[in-house]
Amino acid sequence: MKRVAALLAAALPFVAACVQAPLPSAAAPPAPEARAPVAREVARPAADRAVERALASAMVARNLSSRGAFASRRVSRTEMDRVVRDQVVHELPPDALAHEEAQQKLLGVVDPREDYRELVLGMLGSQVAGLYVPREKALYVVDDDRAGSTTDDEHTVLVHEIVHAIQDEHFDLGARVRWREDGSDAVAAVHALGEGDATLAMLLEKSRGEAIPDAFFEGFATLMRDGNRQMVGDRVPRAVADALVDPYIEGLRFVRERYAAGGWGAVDDAWRDPPSTTEQLLHPAKYAAREAPIAMSRASVGPKGFEILTAGVVGELDLRDWLSAFVDLGEARALASGWGQGRAELFGREEERAVRLRILWDSDAKSHAARTEKLLARALKERFGRPGRIASFTCFDRPELGPLALRSDREGLVVLAGPARLGAKASATQARCADLTSWAKRATRAR
């Protein structure tokens, strides 16, 4: 169950909501000793003077020098959409989006009739205002009337994206955020570190290095999340829309704490030893303790006759986003904080798909069990009607998606979804809760 925001993990995007959210007003310039050395070894044509200015600003704000060895390309909104799609082709395995689509639909996040690929790529293409592509050592910036950019907005986008180029130069960003099998949570954590780093540098550049009040950051996060939801529209589920801005909001919180403790040097240290899970990213104390996930079996348990198609870690941020499809975001955040480890498996048999999701609770989060099942069961009852019971699971029949069964105890949460046929031409599934009995008995334990 990969996060939508990680679809472009190998190409760090600046979403339009960053520009839409109010930024701090410029104040006095920072003291000279705060400035990084400006080393520009790459001569640019006159048309790129704006990039030169933004490069100088980014180095000062981020307190790191740069050779400036990257290409810059201004593109139309249509061209940016093509760039986004090209990155997905280059950076993800061919079936990655199809597998994510099956999981998102079976787990109740996305409508079964939705064209998920176009939903995601359309959202990204319309929202991304700037994009640094490590593989190409190039940054792309939207420059057309539809983007609604002003000179100040373009400078902001350029600074943010150039900080990604600086990260790549100093910390090998491209290698760190490259897609890898079963590594989505670790990549998501580093992706958020990169976005938080670039966003803080952008905000400090806008304020000319002046201290920014804590209240501003909380307001910025709220406005960014709300603004993004408004910009993507009602067609995009809230949990999918929020996943796009999670790296900026949560990454900024993490980086701010590091910066407050030791300036940019402490942020640089985090690059040398980054959070290895989104749990560490979300909980600085757990990062400080380098708290490792709980050991979990990788044995796949699917319906009889089905083969495993893909499996991967479900991190705390994954869990929070999934829960937020059913409960209030604050409640989802509280429940997901009990995460100790997670894993999702997608199974297939011809056109049928099924998912098993497992979450282990931390040793100090056992009380999450009853509340999680209660809140999920209540939300699912409102959507699908009264549930039944099979082999200790609460189970809901769903005409288009097959059964959805869940079981939460002091050990963890197990969710079974499907089997069901997916796709625009799929007929209503014949599977019902009673058909899950055998699978449920074998898939009971989270561990």
Are 386 and 245 within one domain? no
Are 183 and 59 within one domain? yes
Are 244 and 359 within one domain? no
Q: For residue 294, is it within any domain?
A: no
Q: For residue 208, is it within any domain?
A: yes
Q: Is the model's pLDDT at 128 over the cut of 50?
A: yes
Are 254 and 318 within one domain? no
Confidence of residue 29 (pLDDT cuts 50, 70, 90): very low
> What pLDDT is recorded for position 19?
64
Type and span of the H or E element at 414: strand 412-421
Among 288, 323, 353, identify where a domain stops.
288
Are 280 and 227 within one domain? yes
Q: For residue 49, is it within any domain?
A: yes
The per-residue pLDDT for range 72-126, each reduced to its tens digit, is: 988 988 898 899 888 888 888 888 889 999 999 999 999 988 888 888 888 887 7
> What pLDDT is recorded for position 337?
92
The set of residues, in sequence order, having a beta carbon less than 8 Å from that of 3 and lying 6+ positions away, is 184, 188, 243, 246, 317, 318, 321
Distance set, CA 150 to CA 167, 225, 250 (Å)? 26, 22, 27
Q: Is the model's pLDDT at 396 over the cut of 80?
A: yes
The per-residue pLDDT for range 308-339, each reduced to its tens digit, is: 999 999 999 999 999 999 999 999 999 999 99
Q: Give the total number of structural domains in the chain.
A: 2
**How many CB atoms sit inside 10 A of residue 134's CB?**
22
Domain interval for residue 351:
307-442
Are 221 and 360 within one domain? no
Are 167 and 118 within one domain? yes
**Alpha carbon distance 201, 293 (integer Å):** 31
Are 258 and 117 within one domain? yes
> What pLDDT is recorded for position 329?
92
Are 281 and 317 within one domain? no
Mean pLDDT computed over 3-21: 63
Are 267 and 322 within one domain? no
Are 190 and 338 within one domain? no
Residue, of 251 and 153, whose pLDDT is higher:
251
Are 335 and 264 within one domain? no
Among 219, 254, 288, identify where a domain stops.
288
**Alpha carbon distance 112, 10 (integer Å):** 28
> What pLDDT is recorded for position 32?
34
Q: For residue 302, is it within any domain?
A: no
Mean pLDDT computed over 161-173: 95
